[in-house]
Amino acid sequence: MEEDHRQSLRRARLRLVKELQVEPLWDLLLHQEIFTPDMIEEIQKAGTRRDQARQLVIDLQTRGKRALPAFIWCLQETGQNDLAALLSAGGDQPQLHPADLKPVEIRTRSEPRDPRITTSGNLPFPVQELNQRRQKPSRDITATRGSVEENTRRNAETVYVLRTDPCGYCLIINNVNFSSASGLSSRAGSDVDCEKLEKRFRSLGFEVLTRRDLKAQEIVTELQSLATRDHSSLDCCLVVLLSHGCQASHIQFPGGIYGTDGRSIAVEKIVSYFNGTHCPSLRGKPKLFFIQACGGEKKDRGFEVDSEPSAVESDASPIQVPAGGSDQTDAVASLPTPSDILVSYSTFPGFVSWRNKCTGSWYVETLDHVLEQYAHSEDLLNMLLRVANAVSAKGEYKQMPGCFNFLRKRFFFTAK
């Protein structure tokens, strides 16, 4: 939606919430393709008429540049002309006329058409549909409304609802250059990964925060800073870690991430900063972690060789973390039941993760592509299966992404 359209909606918000009659709008909003049936259901779950009107105004701002003109037309068609005029006065809005829509010919079953009677053309679709509604309720519309009432409680219990804008923070930590004392090589191609994910998650409604080349303690500081923010007005949180990785002792979440100084942080400790104890404003909300780093040093040749490996590097490191590492006590003490958490790894624990110097890592490149293609229609777990299937077929050495899923509901991104 254009910014001037958003401003018009914001200026009219109080009056819309007070006066807007939402019930007559649902069918027209569907016909105009402003919202899908699922989106209408989510708005209706908001509660009272005022709550539904408030949510409708919020969601309308994410529905493209023709959303406001179409909404104004819907208001006019339902007799809410004062509100339509209020929004039209907020800017020069192109009017959407019924004639702009595809005409549908009306044929009655009870009477043959009289050839002596001529008309100038078929009735436009919205006029036809409104006329039919006066005579007889549409079966499809009735079924849709019935399913909304029947499925409201069930959907709320099985799907995370993302209503806020932004829907949450997305912290990306991108470690590219490492100190000579660390013994770790620079990660050519990681900036490509970072740029892709910045654009992708902004398009999915997140406020993106990017940090580059952080030492281990600096990573901890950034994570704790994010965890201590007030997330009460947001619906979720996302953390992306791009670095070298290693194996680490763990109870629930394997692996570790290196800072640029060569010191590692256990993934388990990273996740623990966002659990219900340390981040109460995210209780009951999804917390997603995407990790592009090695889980170890093993290389999996698979069973097929079909690409050039010359431009591909590994995020493995020669440094091993002792089995009795010092992170174990902190992880055990600070990890209650990890509900509403998903950790997606670029590779199976113990194996390397591959990165192309020019196009970025296999995992991020594939994840970005899958999100672009399917985020508007598929839930996160289904998309991660697509990522795993695509990445596992790449390269001379094989790579198998995976995830540790403690989400209680299905998660759908809000694609704009």
Mean pLDDT of 317-333: 36
- What is the pLDDT of the chain when averaged over all its residues? 76
Q: What is the pLDDT of residues 132-189, one digit of tens each?
A: 443 333 334 334 334 333 433 446 678 999 999 999 999 999 999 999 999 998 988 8
- Sign of the alpha-carbon dihedral angle for 271, 272, 273, 274: positive
Instruction: Report the run of H or E that residue 405 belongs to, with start and end.
Output: strand 402-405
Question: Cα 269 vs. chain centroid, distance in angstroms?
Answer: 25
Catalytic-labelled residue, pool 244, 250, 279, 403: 244
Output the six-digit token pair for 341: 């958490």
For Cα atoms 209, 212, 217, give the angle at the middle one, nearest 5 degrees.
Answer: 95
pLDDT of residue 145: 39
- 23 pLDDT band, cuts 50/70/90, is very high
Concerning whether 358 is annotated as a catalytic residue, the answer is: no
User: How many helices (H) and strands (E) would you count in the chain?
Assistant: 15, 12
Residue 180 phi, psi dihedral angles, 5° rounding: -65, -30
Output the six-digit token pair for 267: 């993934």
**CA gap 403, 153 in Å, rounded:** 29
**CA gap 39, 103 in Å, rounded:** 26
**CA gap 312, 362 in Å, rounded:** 9
Catalytic-labelled residue, pool 170, 236, 279, 294: 294
Q: Above 60 in pLDDT, residue 384?
A: yes
Concerning whether 97 is annotated as a catalytic residue, the answer is: no
Q: What is the pLDDT of residues 78-133, one digit of tens each?
A: 999 999 999 988 644 444 444 444 444 444 444 444 444 444 444 343 433 434 44
Helix axes 139-158, 37-44, angle to 10 degrees: 60
Mean pLDDT of 342-350: 81
The alpha carbons of the chain give a radius of gyration, in whole angstroms, of 26
**CA gap 187, 128 in Å, rounded:** 62
Are 232 and 281 in contact, with CB atoms under 8 Å apart?
yes
**CA gap 267, 402 in Å, rounded:** 14
**CA gap 117, 173 in Å, rounded:** 72
pLDDT of residue 370: 94
Q: How far is CA 155 from CA 42, 96, 151, 286, 353, in A?
A: 9, 33, 6, 16, 37
Are 411 and 342 in contact, with CB atoms under 8 Å apart?
yes
Q: Which residues, in sequence order, are bridge partners of residue 206?
A: 168
Output the six-digit token pair for 217: 């303690």
Output the six-digit token pair for 340: 């509403």
Which of 174-183, 364-373, 374-383, 385-394 has the weakest average pLDDT?
385-394
pLDDT of residue 395: 53
**CA gap 119, 122 in Å, rounded:** 8
Domains observed in the chain: 3-104+120-158 (1.10.533.10), 168-405 (3.40.50.1460)
